[in-house]
């Protein structure tokens, strides 16, 4: 039996589609963790990236935060916090948010820094206030890059959110962990396939968001 | 501007005790070599750069007293590569300042559409994005955007230097036309002395170190450069260029060397000129011919010498007339009226005399002034 037949068998089994451990429920849980972690990371990373990018100050701090956060092992952090304060949502969210902040923060910072300076100069010279310059000149021009930063954060969170299952929470990680424990390889392969599909769906979602949110004048199409 | 100095934090003195009285409703050009502080001077006027010392007054009021955004919105600002907002359509780019001033969307766009016409942009471009426009068109959008809220002052930093010479000439002519209609107070930065002389009502020549070398009208600048630096900056053909400021209307035109193609032989022989300008029955020039060939009937219109480029007395300057004469194979320039009919011909000698008397009537002598300079 190869992986594809495992996957096929997993999805063909009607029992996997319903109940407490059913695919719809686990998928929703997984999406829930992802959105929460991504939302928290964006709430920190986007404003910080936009502000440092606009002012040009704090570039070193951004680079330091990003490198430090990347060096943290997600799983290790999860175990450490779980041991410290017990299991729950918090030990899951901390590593996921810390994982998602660097790509969002660094890309946003770089995106705003690399915006063509002459429209910015023109806007300032025409009397546009600084906030207007940031949100109505720099951000629209930087948007494709900013979105790509959030997208790579989202993909990383989708695949890493499987660790939630280690601390008895749900999500698609359940199939992988339970499957390994029960030596149910159909479950493992099925869980992994679902994570991959969710990652692909995320890519599609960001592609669509780019089409909608980025001006054709910036896309040049 | 009263004794304005700008010293950047790194110690560079970009502008050094500059005093300048910029006239209302006229074009003042700041010109000088690269790095002489033109941009810095311009940007102190809309406070993109704050002066280290000195004051700048606008209609007698210190610029520092006005809120900076209010000040900037009352001054159009045009920069070298236009600096258009890539994510906005042409119409919305132009509507920027009206929108900042809180005009409604509809009214701002209406105004933007009006300005597209004024700067010579086709209305069909309104919905395009900047990347879909040529460099010259983008620059026109830049000018329209600066004019949108009808500011009394317009600041332009090398606005036409990134386009090719033909497009540049079109943009310069357009600016002069717009200025005739609107009468703005324009401060225009360029490093091109020809552009400065063409556009400026007044020209401020700056030298490296941010000091004013001379502030004068283009004609005075060409006739009386203040020192060797200015003279050198004006270039070798200053004398010829100065002729642009003398009208050709006073030239005495010779008419008996102009003959229609079917003129009687007696008339051809009578003029005594070495060459005759032959015209068609409507009086338009055909070319030059020698009297004896014409009398012999040996010449057909195709056999005549080309007459070059005619000038229009009254409209063209002495420089254009001299250019015609120099380019003409016979050394005579052809004058035509606005409809292209020959009004006479004039020799290089006659133009030379007109130049001498024009210089005598003008102020000072060019060569003397150059020699007393340090
Ligand atoms: N932000 C700055 N910090 C330090 N020095 C500066 C700054 N901006 C300009 N300078 C210096 O000030 C001087 C004048 O610069 P400015 O840009 O006003 O020259 P310019 O006449 O406009 O030159 P160009 O024709 O090349 O545009 C130059 O020596 C320049 O290096
Ligand atoms: Mg400059």
> Are residue B223 and residue B279 in the same domain, yes or no?
no
Whole domain around residue A155: which residue ranges? 3-215
Task: Work out the pLDDT band at A113, boundaries 50, 70, 90.
Answer: very high
Token digits of residue B353: 């005399």
In a domain, A156, yes or no: yes
Check which CATH number belongs to the domain holding A37 and give it.
1.10.3720.10
Task: Work out the pLDDT band at B363, boundaries 50, 70, 90.
Answer: very low
> B263 or A193, which is more confident?
A193
In a domain, A56, yes or no: yes
Average pLDDT over residues B210-218: 95
In a domain, B366, yes or no: no
Determine the pLDDT at residue B252: 87
Closest chain B residue to A129 measured between Cα atoms?
B69
> Are residue B23 and residue B159 in the same domain, yes or no?
yes
The residue among A120, A137, A217, A218 with the most chain B CBs within 10 A of its CB, best to mutate, is A217
Percent residues over pLDDT 90 in chain B: 60
In a domain, B240, yes or no: yes
Asked if A140 reaches chain B (Cβ–Cβ under 8 Å), the answer is yes
How many Cβ atoms sit within 10 Å of the Cβ of residue B48? 17
Beta strand spans in B238-284 (E): 258-260, 276-279
Token digits of residue B8: 């950047």
> Are residue B208 and residue B339 in the same domain, yes or no?
no
| Residue B303 buriedness (CB in 10 A; 0-12 / 13-18 / 19+) | exposed
List pLDDT tens digits, range B16-74: 999 999 999 999 999 999 999 999 999 999 999 999 999 999 988 899 998 999 999 99
> Are residue B156 and residue B273 in the same domain, yes or no?
no
Among A126-135, B50-59, B185-194, B286-295, the minimum mean pLDDT is found in B286-295
In a domain, B117, yes or no: yes
Asked if A220 reaches chain B (Cβ–Cβ under 8 Å), the answer is yes
Cross-strand bridge partners of residue B75:
B153
Asked if A119 reaches chain B (Cβ–Cβ under 8 Å), the answer is yes
Identify which of B37, B157, B211, B212 to mutate to test ligand 1's pocket (most ligand atoms within 8 A of the CB): B37
> Are residue B43 and residue B79 in the same domain, yes or no?
yes
Determine the pLDDT at residue B78: 97
Percent residues over pLDDT 70 in chain A: 99
Looking at the CA of B79, name the nearest ligand.
Answer: 2
Check which CATH number belongs to the domain holding B42 and give it.
3.40.50.300
In a domain, B365, yes or no: no
Residue B370 has pLDDT above 50, yes or no: no
**Average per-residue pLDDT for chain B:** 89
Among A206-220, B195-209, B333-347, the minimum mean pLDDT is found in B333-347
Asked if A32 reaches chain B (Cβ–Cβ under 8 Å), the answer is no
> Are residue B236 and residue B264 in the same domain, yes or no?
no
Report the gap between the CA of B168 and the closest CA in chain A (Å). 20
Average pLDDT over residues A119-146: 97
Instruction: Report how far apart, in Å, the C-alpha atoms of B68 and of each of A123, A127, A152, B79, B201 are.
Output: 13, 7, 41, 19, 28
How many Cβ atoms sit within 10 Å of the Cβ of residue A178? 15
Q: How far is the CA of A125 from the centre of ligand 1 (A)?
A: 17
Check which CATH number belongs to the domain holding B293 and give it.
3.10.580.10
In a domain, B370, yes or no: no
> Are residue B43 and residue B176 in the same domain, yes or no?
yes
Residue B139 has pLDDT above 60, yes or no: yes
List pLDDT tens digits, range A17-46: 888 889 999 999 999 999 999 999 999 999
In a domain, A220, yes or no: no
In a domain, A221, yes or no: no
From the CB of B31, is ligand 1 less than 6 Å away? Answer: no
Residue B129 has pLDDT above 80, yes or no: yes
Determine the pLDDT at residue B365: 41
**Average per-residue pLDDT for chain A:** 92
List pLDDT tens digits, range B91-125: 999 999 999 999 999 999 999 999 999 999 999 99
Determine the pLDDT at residue A150: 97
Q: How far is the CA of B40 from the centre of ligand 1 (A)?
A: 6
> Are residue B118 and residue B267 in the same domain, yes or no?
no
Q: Which atom of ligand 1 is nearest to the CA of B33?
A: 25
For chain A, the domain total comes to 1
Of A124, A126, A140, the CB nearest to B87: A140
Residue B194 has pLDDT above 50, yes or no: yes
> Are residue B302 and residue B158 in the same domain, yes or no?
no
In a domain, B249, yes or no: no
Whole domain around residue B326: which residue ranges? 258-357
- Among B64, B52, B54, B68, residue whose Cα is nearest residue B8: B52
Closest chain B residue to A140 measured between Cα atoms?
B87
Rounded to the nearest 10°, the torsion over CA A113, A116, A118, A121 is: -30
Determine the pLDDT at residue B329: 86
- Spell out which residues of chain B touch residue A214, defining contact as CB-CB under 8 Å: 87
Determine the pLDDT at residue B239: 81
In a domain, A208, yes or no: yes
Q: Which atom of ligand 1 is nearest to the CA of B38?
A: 21
> Are residue B20 and residue B65 in the same domain, yes or no?
yes
* 3-class SS letters over chain A: CCHHHHHHHHHHCHHHHCCCCCHHHHHHHHHHHHHHHHHHHHHHHHHHHHHHHHHCCCHHHHHHHHHHHHHCCHHHHHHHHHHHHCCCHHHHHHHHHHHHHHHHHHHHHHHHHCCCHHHHHHHHHCCCCHHHHHHHHHHHHHHHHHHHHHHHHHHHHHHHHHHHHHHCCCCCHHHHHHHHHHCCHHHHHHHHHHHHHHHHHHHHHHHHHHHHHCCHHHHCC
For chain B, the domain total comes to 2
**Which protein residue's CA is at the shortest distance from atom 2 of ligand 1?**
B8
Task: Work out the pLDDT band at B298, boundaries 50, 70, 90.
Answer: low
List pLDDT tens digits, range B179-192: 999 999 999 999 99
In a domain, A136, yes or no: yes
In a domain, A46, yes or no: yes
Determine the pLDDT at residue A211: 95
Asked if A13 reaches chain B (Cβ–Cβ under 8 Å), the answer is no
Determine the pLDDT at residue A75: 83
Rounded Cα distance between B280 and B70, Å, is 63
């Amino acid at each position: 039996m190869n992986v594809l037949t495992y996957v096929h068998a997993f999805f063909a089994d009607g029992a996997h589609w319903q109940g407490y451990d059913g695919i719809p429920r686990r998928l929703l849980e997984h999406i829930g963790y992802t959105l929460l972690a991504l939302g928290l990371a964006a709430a920190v990373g986007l404003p910080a990236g936009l502000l440092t990018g606009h002012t040009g100050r704090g570039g070193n701090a951004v680079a330091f935060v990003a490198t430090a956060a990347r060096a943290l092992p997600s799983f290790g952090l999860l175990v450490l916090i779980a041991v410290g304060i017990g299991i729950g949502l918090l030990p899951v969210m901390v590593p996921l948010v810390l994982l998602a902040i660097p790509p969002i923060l660094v890309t946003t910072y770089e995106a705003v820094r690399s915006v063509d300076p002459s429209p910015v100069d023109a806007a300032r010279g025409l009397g546009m206030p600084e906030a207007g310059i940031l949100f109505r000149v720099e951000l629209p021009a930087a948007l494709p890059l900013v979105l790509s930063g959030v997208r790579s954060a989202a993909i990383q969170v989708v695949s890493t959110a499987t660790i939630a299952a280690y601390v008895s929470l749900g999500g698609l990680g359940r199939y992988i962990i339970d499957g390994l424990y029960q030596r149910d390889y159909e479950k493992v392969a099925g869980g992994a396939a679902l994570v991959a599909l969710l990652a692909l769906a995320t890519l599609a979602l960001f592609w669509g968001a780019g089409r909608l949110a980025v001006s054709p004048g910036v896309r040049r199409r | 501007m009263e004794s304005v100095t700008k010293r950047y934090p790194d110690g560079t003195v970009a502008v050094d005790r500059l005093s300048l009285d910029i006239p209302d409703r006229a074009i003042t050009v700041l010109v000088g070599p690269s790095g002489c502080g033109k941009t810095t001077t311009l940007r102190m006027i809309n406070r993109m750069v704050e002066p280290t010392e000195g004051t700048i007054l606008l209609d007698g009021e210190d610029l520092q007293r006005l809120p900076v955004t209010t000040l900037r919105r009352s001054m159009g600002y045009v920069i070298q590569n236009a600096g258009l907002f890539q994510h906005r359509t042409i119409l919305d780019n132009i509507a920027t300042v009206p929108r900042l001033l809180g005009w409604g969307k509809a009214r701002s766009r209406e105004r933007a559409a009006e300005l597209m016409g004024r700067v010579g942009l086709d209305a069909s471009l309104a919905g395009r994005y900047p990347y879909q426009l040529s460099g010259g068109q983008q620059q026109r959008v830049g000018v329209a955007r600066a004019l949108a809220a009808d500011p009394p002052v317009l600041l332009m930093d090398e606005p036409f230097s990134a386009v090719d010479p033909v497009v540049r000439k079109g943009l310069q002519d357009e600016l002069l036309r717009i200025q005739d209609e609107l009468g703005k107070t324009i401060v225009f930065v360029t490093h091109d002395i020809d552009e400065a002389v063409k556009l400026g009502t007044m020209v401020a020549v700056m030298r490296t170190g941010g000091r004013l070398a001379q502030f004068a009208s283009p004609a005075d600048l060409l006739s009386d450069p203040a020192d060797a630096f200015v003279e050198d900056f004006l270039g070798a053909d200053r004398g010829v260029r100065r002729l642009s400021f003398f009208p050709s209307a006073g030239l005495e035109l010779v008419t008996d060397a102009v003959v229609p193609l079917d003129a009687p032989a007696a008339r051809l022989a009578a003029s005594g000129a070495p060459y005759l300008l032959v015209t068609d029955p409507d009086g338009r020039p055909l070319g030059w011919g020698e009297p004896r060939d014409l009398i012999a009937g040996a010449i057909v219109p195709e056999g005549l010498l080309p007459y070059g480029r005619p000038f229009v007395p009254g409209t063209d300057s002495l420089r254009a007339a001299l250019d015609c004469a120099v380019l003409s194979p016979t050394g005579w320039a052809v004058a035509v009226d606005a409809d292209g009919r020959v009004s006479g011909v004039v020799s290089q000698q006659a133009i030379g005399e007109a130049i001498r008397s024009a210089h005598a009537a003008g102020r000072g002598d060019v060569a003397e002034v150059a020699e007393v300079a340090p």
